[in-house]
């Protein structure tokens, strides 16, 4: 278990010059082969030989006293910027950075993010930093939507039009998209194209995927960030007719962790606010039960 992690360097190899024992680091919890075609093309997150923490039968998780990792996958935490607990959140933040980069959010974009869990909210926060002028967070949990508002609006140093949308579970995906557009797609000029420029789907739920496709504008960009069923009913006709660009998002790639670290160091995104509870390793089982009950946002387990 465990792939969101930070720690203190215990020992380094003789050729390592960038780190030393005692350094506090955030861990990018997987390393590729570095020689396959994916790695050589700069897409190491797609490496078929990736050794990723906590993947069954291949690699132990980070809930151990010691975890061995190449030095370039350890990101030194600048003194006075964050604690080890907060550094754990750099992993989901890197996912959010990768997701937003995949769709190329740019200044002025109208963005919808499905899901107000940790990754979904971080996607909204990163989209804000990339210049999105409107961000709509979609979730069935009103408490999570309010938390998302606090993160996206309160942490902002500039203007962002944040909106929350709670879908009706009894409506069809098309009707939900219609309601979403009616309530949150103001066309400020007569020539504006109806629909949202970018949809970030961070739930994996089929209904959200379909709603996102129907709510996006013609020529818009959709990224599937949440992991759901491998197969589902999908409005492929709408994708073709609207010339929607579909992108996938799998973990993170070159520069994503580094940019996430820079955003936190610069206090652009306050990841510490996501931590609901910190428990010792001896109570790890309680932490997992808390998460399974859907309580809080993030429960952090302190190491052995």
Phi, psi torsion values for 20, nearest 5 degrees: -150, 160
Element (H, E) at 26: strand 24-27
Tell me the sheet residues that pair with 138.
Answer: 114, 165
What pLDDT score was predicted for residue 295? 79
For strands 74-76 and 161-165, give the pairing: unpaired
Q: Consecutive 10-residue runs of the chain (304 residues): their mean pLDDT?
A: 91 97 97 97 97 82 91 97 97 99 97 98 98 97 95 79 95 97 81 91 98 98 96 96 98 97 96 93 87 84 80
Q: Which residues of 27-63 are buried (b: 16+ CB within 10 A; e: fewer)?
A: bbbbbbeeebebbeeeebbbbeebbbbbeeeebebbb
pLDDT at 155: 65
- Alpha-carbon distance of 197 to 112, in angstroms, equals 8
> Which pLDDT score, from 0 to 100, does residue 1 have?
65
Contacts of 240 (CB under 8 A, 6+ apart): none
Domain spans of the chain? 5-92+253-302, 102-248
Which residues does 18 contact at the CB level (< 8 Å), separation at least 6?
A: 71, 72, 76
User: Which pLDDT score, from 0 to 100, does residue 248 have?
Assistant: 97
Spatial CA neighbour of 20 closest among 12, 28, 30: 12
**Helix, strand, coil % (nearest 5) of the chain?**
35, 20, 45
Task: State the Cα–Cα distance between residues 213 and 246, nearest whole angstrom.
Answer: 10
| pLDDT score at 2 | 82
Q: Which residues of 161-193 are buried (b: 16+ CB within 10 A; e: fewer)?
A: ebbbbebeeeeebeebbebbbeebbeeeeeeee
Question: Could you tell me the CATH superfamily of domain 5-92+253-302?
Answer: Medium-chain alcohol dehydrogenases, catalytic domain (3.90.180.10)
pLDDT for the residue numbered 189: 63
Give CA–CA dist 13/10, Å, rounded: 11
Helix (H, G, I), strand (E, B) or coil at 40: helix
Q: Which residues pair with 164 in a beta bridge?
A: 137
Return the CATH superfamily for domain 102-248.
NAD(P)-binding Rossmann-like Domain (3.40.50.720)
Q: How far is CA 56 from CA 2, 33, 53, 61, 208, in A?
A: 11, 18, 9, 9, 29
Looking at residue 197, its pLDDT comes to 97
Dist. CA 115–CA 145, nearest whole Å: 9
Residue with tokens 């409107």: 134
Fold match flag (5-92+253-302 vs 102-248)? no
């Amino acid at each position: 278990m465990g792939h969101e992690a930070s720690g203190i360097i215990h020992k380094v190899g003789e050729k390592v010059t960038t780190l030393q024992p005692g350094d506090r680091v955030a861990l990018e919890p997987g390393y590729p082969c570095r020689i396959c075609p994916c790695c050589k093309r700069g897409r190491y997150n797609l490496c078929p030989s990736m050794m990723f923490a906590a993947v069954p039968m291949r690699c132990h998780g980070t809930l151990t006293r010691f975890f061995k990792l190449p030095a370039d996958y350890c990101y030194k935490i600048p003194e006075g910027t964050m604690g080890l607990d907060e550094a754990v959140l750099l992993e989901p933040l890197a996912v959010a950075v990768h997701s937003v980069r995949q769709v190329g959010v740019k200044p002025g974009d109208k963005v919808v993010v499905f899901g107000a869990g940790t990754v979904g909210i971080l996607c909204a926060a990163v989209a804000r930093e990339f210049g999105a002028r409107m961000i709509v967070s979609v979730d069935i949990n009103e408490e999570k939507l309010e938390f998302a508002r606090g993160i996206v609006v309160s942490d902002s140093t500039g203007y962002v039009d944040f909106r929350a949308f709670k879908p009706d579970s009894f409506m069809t995906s098309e009707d939900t998209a219609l309601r979403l557009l009616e309530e949150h797609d103001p066309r400020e000029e007569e020539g504006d194209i109806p629909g949202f420029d970018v949809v970030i789907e961070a739930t994996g739920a089929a209904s959200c995927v379909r709603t996102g496709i129907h709510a996006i504008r013609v020529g818009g960009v959709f990224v599937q960030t949440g992991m759901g069923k491998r197969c589902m009913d999908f409005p492929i006709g709408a994708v073709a007719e609207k010339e929607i660009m579909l992108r996938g998002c799998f973990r993170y790639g070159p520069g994503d962790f580094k940019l996430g670290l820079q955003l936190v160091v610069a206090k652009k995104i306050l990841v510490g606010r996501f931590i609901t509870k910190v428990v010792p390793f001896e109570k790890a089982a309680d932490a997992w039960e808390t998460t399974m009950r859907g309580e809080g946002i993030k429960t952090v387990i302190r190491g052995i």
